[in-house]
Amino acid sequence: MSADFPAYSPSEEHELLRRTVRDLADAKIAPGAAEVDETADFPQEAHDALVQNDLHAVHIPEAYGGAGADALATVIVIEEVARACASSSLIPAVNKLGTVPLLLSGSEELKKRYLAPLARGEAMFSYALSEAEAGSDAASMRTRAVRDGDDYVLNGAKMWITNAGVSEYYTVMAVTDPEQGAKGISAFVVEKSDPGVSFGPKERKLGIKGSPTRQVILEDVRIPASRMVGAEGTGFKTALATLDHTRITIAAQALGIAQGALDYAIGYVKERRQFGRPVADFQGVQFMIADMAMKLEGARQLTYHAAIKSERAMLGERIPDLTFISSACKCLASDVAMEITTDAVQLLGGYGYTRDFPVERMMRDAKITQIYEGTNQIQRVVMSRQLLK
Ligand code: CAA
Ligand code: FAD
């Protein structure tokens, strides 16, 4: 009977992976998280630890030198890194975001050339869709790519690009035919070393401060036409199809941040004494902890379910509700992370409001998960369109 039930809970191997990543994150990433937040420096030590343990881009298929981990394993890696340091979790998450366009639509030549250095830990990838005037309405982008012989010449500026400046490679969406709207957008791989590529200053942010967010400025950047990802005019579809897989990784980041805050709050309320007893003895505190854990587990189940669907889609199965479920888990997990981290600050009282304790950082870090890879209003646009079409 059990064989007829397609299980979507993690296997023993997934749980072993979780323990491995948690041990690594506790030992090598968590100790630097407060300093990364304070200095807003890129978490190089975390990056190096992830690379040494082959955890920086686990999703890269074995055919391109990667670990070939499935989407659920990738979620678990991101979740466990985010539990320690949200900024560091954007290393595996954005390495996936930048490369899914190639995995979905790229030529064999592009995959071989660009995925192998990432798998070896010699390069990172970023994803450049947004512009200053084209965020939620991503199809209104202005960055142009004009064909010139065997090349394309790119001009424009992509805004808010995570890990910009650190990444060697960028999947850039640009307009190849302004008359065609979304169908006139194409995707390209741009290298940091391409002449004409530069970066804006680091944005000064509320959270995820160790993850650099910068403009990618393209001035007469000439690249061979072979660097186009998929056919001309398919870049916007590839960009959105990518998000169907990677909104799940933002859900994973949100789960990890929330778990970190919940774990810390549980430890604290058992130690902190008021009225002659641990504050954990008060039912008002107990009910908050119960609600936090309940919401987190609900969001986790939806996210893991979405990850399984993502993996099946990557293996070639048609999953009609992938767009809905990836939006749903990102929206739910990020809203839950905001609630849980806010409650964690509450449970630490005045101490929670200070930088001497990690939960205020987690609350600031959680906020971005409601905004990027599409704001949670846009997730509701995506979900309702799927339901009403
Ligand atoms: N997969 C494949 N194709 C899709 C698709 C999907 N999930 N969703 C839509 N499409 C297709 C449509 O079918 C349509 O093609 P046809 O005309 O041939 O049917 C085309 O793409 C355009 O779709 P829409 O008409 O629905 O496009 P729209 O302009 O109305 O925009 C939107 C839709 C949902 C609002 C979209 O613009 C969106 O998701 N906006 C949010 C942007 C976003 O998420 N940015 C994330 C940036 S990355 C980031 O933030 C990084 C980070 O976190 C670290
Ligand atoms: P706007 O689109 O201007 O939205 C403003 C408000 O209006 C929001 O509340 C929004 O929800 C609401 N709104 C807009 N349209 C609608 C609608 N139709 N219905 C209801 N409400 C609506 N982008 C990348 O391409 N690559 C990256 O690596 C990347 N990393 C990022 C990292 C950070 C730290 C940040 C802050 C952003 C990043 N982004 C990245 C961009 C991110 O995806 C956008 O900020 C996001 O999609 C929202 O766009 P916007 O900021 O222009 O907001």
The whole-number average pLDDT for the span 360-376 is: 98
Q: What is the token pair recorded at 235?
A: 């870049």
CA-based torsion, 177, 183, 185, 186: positive or negative: negative
Q: pLDDT per residue over 223-253, tens digit each?
A: 999 999 999 999 999 999 999 999 999 999 9
- How far does residue 377's CA lie from ligand 2's centre (Å)? 10
Q: What local confidence, expressed as pLDDT, does residue 3 receive? A: 53
The whole-number average pLDDT for the span 5-11 is: 71
Mean pLDDT, the chain, whole residue set: 97
Pocket test for ligand 1, best of 240, 325, 379 (most atoms within 8 A of CB): 240
Q: What local confidence, expressed as pLDDT, does residue 2 receive? A: 47
Q: What local confidence, expressed as pLDDT, does residue 1 receive? A: 42
Task: Tell whether ligand 2 has an atom less than 6 A from the beta carbon of residue 135.
Answer: yes
Q: pLDDT per residue over 256-293, tens digit each?
A: 999 999 999 999 999 999 999 999 999 999 999 999 99
- Give the C-alpha separation, 194 to 220, whole Å: 10
Q: Is the ipTM beyond the 0.90 threshold?
A: yes
Q: What local confidence, expressed as pLDDT, does residue 96 receive? A: 98
Look up the CATH superfamily of 125-232. Butyryl-CoA Dehydrogenase, subunit A, domain 2 (2.40.110.10)
The whole-number average pLDDT for the span 126-151 is: 98
Q: pLDDT per residue over 26-50, tens digit each?
A: 999 999 999 999 999 999 999 999 9
What residue ranges do the domains of the chain occupy?
12-119, 125-232, 236-388
- Give the ligand whose atoms come closest to the C-alpha of residue 203: 2
Global pTM reads: 0.98
Choices 3.40.50.300, 3.40.640.10, 1.20.140.10, 3.40.30.10: CATH for 236-388: 1.20.140.10
Whether 7 shows a pLDDT value over 90: the answer reads no
Q: CATH second-level architecture of 12-119?
A: Orthogonal Bundle (1.10)
Residue 373 is among the residues annotated as catalytic for this protein: yes
Our separate counts of H helices and E strands in the chain read 12, 10
